[in-house]
Structure 1
Amino acid sequence: MAPPVTFRPRGGAILAAIAIAICAIGLAYVAVTEGVVSLVTWAWPIVAVAWGAWLLYIRPSVRVTDGFVEVRNIVRTYRVPWGDVEDIDSRYALTIQTVDGRRIRAWAAPAPGARQAMTTRREEVTRTPGEGDTRRPSDARGTSSGDAAEVVRRAFETYQREGGTVLPGGTVTTWDIPVIVVTILLVAGAILTLVLPHG
């Protein structure tokens, strides 16, 4: 049994870490210069920015195991057993198509922008899984969609070749309620902080 592989784009995580660090410095600055009362007041928008950076760039992931591929987006998680996978595409983002026609796009693996796509050379995608006519710049190694698609396609090919564990119940979609609640509270607190007068 192969160990699970989790994919997160490195560039987004670096940007999020920088944003979170700046927010932490901001909180410390407010605490030192303005005191605890101001910290409690202004913590809402600052923490909301840090939370947003984590939510958009660190939380999303694609996890590949012997039995399934799990796509974690901002507030929803999809667990797709290999037996439910019909096709794997990367045109706009890593997309898992299920046998019942659902298309699940991975926030963690977007396709490259137009500039990167136009500068991608054909040889950069020749060694990626898939047939030559169907491969495109979004399949290239070094792109978020291409790197994730390669991992998912190789695992799916292994499943098709050797068989594997099929989890009962088919594809499962989970709304991440705690994340939704925290997001709503932080956004509401940030808006109130910015709108209400402070004396």
Structure 2
Amino acid sequence: MPEPVVFRPRGGQILAWVAIVVCAASLVLILVTDGPLAVVLWSSPLVLIAWIAWLLYVRPSVTVSDGFVEIDNPFRTHRIPWGDIDDIDTRFALTVTTTGGRRIRAWAAPAPGIRRALATRREEVAESPGDGDTRRPSDAAGTESGDASLIVHRRLDEYRRTGGAGRTGGSVSTLGVARIAVTSVLLAASVVTLSLTLPHG
């Protein structure tokens, strides 16, 4: 049984980790210069920035396994069995359409920006999955949407070749309650902190 393949976004990861490191360093600097009380006061906005950077650009993923493709977005996780996949598209991001017509976009695999799309040559998408008329710059190898789409297409084709097609339904979406709660708490604490520390007119 092949190991699951996990695809994570590349573009924002470096910036996200830089933001996280800067926030951590800022807390250390505040501790050294202003003491523990200042750290307590400013921890919520700095932790919120680091948390959002991690939530949006580090945590999201697309996991491809024998039984399903799992799309983990910032606040919701979708597990889609291979038999429930009707179509795969990359127009705005890797998008899986279920047999019931539901379209699920992957935060981890966005389509390239306008500059990258305009610079894409026809031969770069020639080997991409799909018909020639429907291939887009977002299908090109080297783009996040294109690379993720290729992985998903290959495993889906393998599933269908081995006779697994036909078992529709079974997709499950789970709300990330803990992630929403942490975000809400940090956001509320940050608002309180800023209202207490910023000068009022």
- If the TM-score is normalised by the length of the shorter chain, which range does it land in? over 0.9
Q: SS of the residue aligned with 2:12?
A: helix
What is residue 67 of structure 2 aligned with on the other side? 67
RMSD: 1.8
Q: Could you say what secondary structure the match of 2:77 adopts?
A: strand
Quick one: distance in 1 between partners of 2:137 and 2:168?
35
Task: Point out where structure 1 has 5 or more consecutive residues left out of the alignment.
Answer: none
1:97 offset after TM fit, Å? 0.1
SS at match of 2:11: helix
Match of 1:128 in 2: 128
For the residues of structure 2 that align with 1:169 and 1:82, how far apart are their CA atoms? Answer: 9
Cα 1:32–1:2 shift into 2, 3 Å: same
More displaced 10-residue stretch of structure 1: 77-86 or 123-132: 123-132
Structure 2 residue aligned with 1:144: 144
Instruction: Give the paired residue count.
Output: 199
Q: TM-score, length-normalised on structure 2?
A: 0.94
- Call closer, same or farther: CA 1:123–1:51 in 2, change over 3 Å: same
**Within 5 Å, which residues of 2 pair with 1:1-199?**
1-164=1-164, 170-197=170-197
- State the SS of the aligned residue for 1:87: strand
Give % identity.
57
Distance between the aligned counterparts of 1:44 and 1:174, measured in 2? 27
Given that 1:81 and 1:166 are in contact with CA atoms closer than 8 Å, whether structure 2 keeps it comes out as no
Cα distance, 1:197 vs structure 2: 4.0
Measured after TM superposition, the shift of residue 163 of structure 1 is 3.4
Q: Give the counterpart letter for 1:77 in structure 2.
A: T
Q: Deviations over 1:137-196 (max 9, x none)?
A: 000011110011010111111111113599997000000111110000011111110011
Cα distance change, pair 196–165 in 1 and its aligned pair in 2 (3 A): farther
Choose 188-197 or 117-126, whichever is displaced more.
188-197
Label 1:13 to 1:167 Cα distance change in 2 as closer, same or farther (>3 A).
farther
Check conservation: 1:93, 1:109, Cα contact below 8 A. yes
Extract unaligned runs of 5+ from structure 2. none
**Secondary structure, in 3 states, of the residue corresponding to 2:107?**
strand
Counterparts of 1:35 and 1:99, CA distance in 2: 58
Distance in 1 between the 2:176 and 2:36 partners? 32
Give SS of 2:46's match: helix
User: Any idea what SS the aligned residue of 1:77 has?
Assistant: strand
Distance 1:167 1:32 in 2: 61
- 4+ aligned runs moved over 3 Å, structure 1: 163-169
